[in-house]
Amino acid sequence: MIMVYDVNVQRVSKVLHIGRRYLTWVQNSVMEGSLTNAQFKRLKSEIRQVIEEDEDSVLFYTIRSPKDVRREEIGIAKGTPSNFV
């Protein structure tokens, strides 16, 4: 799982704090790690409680295998989705 977020400066520390309970911080606004389905649901629920979905953006990339990468977005779209390697 990779979580990438672009949120208002007032909410950055809250999102970081929530994310660090589930994932490892790897660089500014990027976290990664392995989650169970239940943990992923709790993470998304907690993130939804602190962000403003019409202002902020949080992306989740679920990598099940090199051929099975899924992208899920919460909040405002910040650009057109594209494939990545």
Q: What residues form the annotated binding site for Mg(2+)?
A: 6
> Which segments are annotated as binding site?
6
Residue 50: how many CB atoms within 10 A of its CB?
Answer: 16
CB 73 within 8 A of CB 58: yes
In this structure, what are the phi and psi dihedrals at residue 25, rounded to the nearest 5 degrees? Answer: -70, 130
